């Protein structure tokens, strides 16, 4: 078994399929889930470890929950202004909590698809 409980079964391909808790989960080349319905809290915790977060705090879970609820209600991730308003946190507070920032950190840990249009 690989680091953090993830087994890579298709290395070198554009997509990576990993076994997480006995299920195959496919990630794109940047580490985003291809199917947000396969997300679970255990997966978020394992991705957080990869990002250098040994534990997810109440604030992390608050941001992750808001991102997921917004995504499934609207079919897209929230704009940063909507994220700020919806969580009651400033963007700097959110970014400080996720070492890889909002896009690569918070959205990826929430299991949202890759926002390729975002810079």
Q: Which domain CATH number covers 96?
A: 1.10.10.370
* Number of domain units in the chain: 1
- CA 94 and chain centroid, separation: 14
What lies within 8 Å, CB to CB, of 20 at 6+ separation is 5, 6, 42, 43, 46
Structural domain span for residue 49: 3-109
pLDDT digits (tens, 9 = 90+) for 4-46: 444 444 445 588 998 888 889 999 999 999 999 999 999 999 9
**Phi and psi, residue 66, nearest 5°:** -60, -45
- pLDDT band of residue 92 (cuts 50, 70, 90) is very high
pTM value is: 0.83
Give the Å distances, CA to CA, from 76 to 1, 3, 64.
33, 30, 14
- Tokens coding 76: 């897209």
């Amino acid at each position: 078994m690989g680091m953090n409980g993830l087994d890579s079964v298709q290395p070198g391909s554009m997509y990576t399929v990993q076994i997480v808790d006995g299920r195959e989960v496919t990630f794109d080349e940047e580490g985003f889930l291809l199917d947000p319905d396969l997300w679970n809290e255990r997966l978020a915790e394992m991705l957080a470890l990869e990002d250098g977060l040994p534990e997810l705090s109440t604030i992390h879970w608050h941001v992750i929950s808001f991102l997921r609820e917004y995504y499934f209600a609207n079919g897209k991730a929230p704009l940063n202004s909507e994220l700020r308003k919806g969580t009651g946190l400033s963007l700097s507070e959110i970014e400080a909590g996720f070492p890889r920032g909002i896009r690569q950190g918070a959205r990826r840990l929430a299991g949202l698809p890759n926002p390729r249009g975002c810079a």
